[in-house]
Structure 1
Amino acid sequence: MGLVKLVVFGFLFLSVIYLSISVYSRSVRREKLEKQWDADNPGGEQADRDTYVEQGMAKYESGFRKKLIVLVYIVPTVAIVAILYLTNAN
């Protein structure tokens, strides 16, 4: 029963962390794209800026950096399994 609680609450905790990191990463990327557009095109059209940012965000969604955030689930799970194994192996 203790293992089930650990898995359920661990998954919920990691999900909150994953969502927080994901939202933060998206906002940082969007802000970077907006600043880049403003620096490269002073006085540019708002519609062009929005298109540029949306294309950049679409590229981000399919990029490698977004996929790295999944390690939030993998690394702690592997660490806990390793600790449990090493503790019970002795």
Structure 2
Amino acid sequence: MASSDAAASDPLLYLRQAIASGRPPIPTTTADATSNTDAEQNLAKATHLLFNSDGDHRTFPLTAITRFVSSDKPVDLRSIYLAWQKKDVA
């Protein structure tokens, strides 16, 4: 079992919980998103994902490397999030 410190810094865990709860993360242009103007629907312009669950607000940079590995290379959060967004298109 992962420690609570490791879980708190795991963007994949946050993404999984957000999807399961029906509250997907919000792409933002800042790590300290405090207003709706910080939200950015264009993933190419966004720099972070904001997770809001049960009063817990956490952001991760989209460039964060995740524990997901493809072809022996770790995959960044932006790629994972984009794959989830486009899961029904393919």
> TM-score under structure 2 normalisation?
0.21
Larger Rg: 1
Q: Which has the higher contact order (CA 8 A, sep 6+)?
A: 1
Tell me which protein shows more helix as a share of its residues: 1
Calculate the TM-score normalised by the size of structure 1: 0.21
Relative to total residues, which structure has the larger strand share, 1 or 2? 2
